[in-house]
Amino acid sequence: MTKNVTPEQTRALATLSIFIDKRKRYVYVDRFTKKGYQIGQKDLNFLRNFSLRFLLALFVYIVGFSVLSIDWWVAALTAIGGLVASEVLYRIYFLKKLPEVTVKAEDAKNVSWLSVQINEDKSKLRNKLMTFGLLTIISFVFIIFANYQGEYLFTMAAFQAYLFFYTGVIAYGLFKKN
């Protein structure tokens, strides 16, 4: 059972693929299998930390490639290997112990990045779009310099792709709201 949750907290949970059902339970929706799992407060904290696995993999890649001067492909394989290992442990260890819950298609659709952006306040959405747009432009300038120097091109291209994707999601949410 949960306490009353504000709309801001509900949107934050939706970015983690979590919604609150009619019985006031936290329900996690696995995006790949479309199954729902009831989670408790302790599991919610684990899920918040686990959602940072992509940033951790990016950190491993950047440190390996930039600081330790490992070849880019070795650093990338190490980061991808860590992601795969964490995903396997997550599915075998964490999800197997949670009770399954029946999830309606409409509820599963409402816990995506896109639905969160569409439901966001218009002024906040504009601010996010301007911020990520500016970051995208700045990183594009850096990628031009990286290409000129011949170093860090792969790292900057991966970061640029992430920024383009997330800025596109925000822009789509803003235009869908109009």
**What is the pLDDT at residue 95?**
86
Within a domain: 66: no
Supply the range of the domain harboring residue 124. Answer: 112-178
Q: Tell me if 11 sits within 8 A of 116, measured CB to CB.
A: yes
The total number of structural domains in the chain stands at: 1
Within a domain: 73: no
Choose the most confident range, by mean pLDDT, from 35-49, 85-99, 152-166: 85-99
Within a domain: 120: yes
Within a domain: 67: no
Give per-residue pLDDT as tens, 102-122.
888 777 777 766 666 666 777
Query: Residue 154: pLDDT above 70?
Result: no
Average pLDDT, the chain: 76
Q: Note if the pTM is more than 0.75.
A: no
**What is the pLDDT at residue 81?**
92
Q: Among 7, 1, 27, 5, which residue's Cα sits nearest to residue 124?
A: 7
Within a domain: 156: yes
Within a domain: 148: yes
Within a domain: 132: yes
Q: State how beta strands 100-101 and 18-20 pair.
A: unpaired
Within a domain: 171: yes
Give per-residue pLDDT as tens, 162-175.
777 777 777 777 77
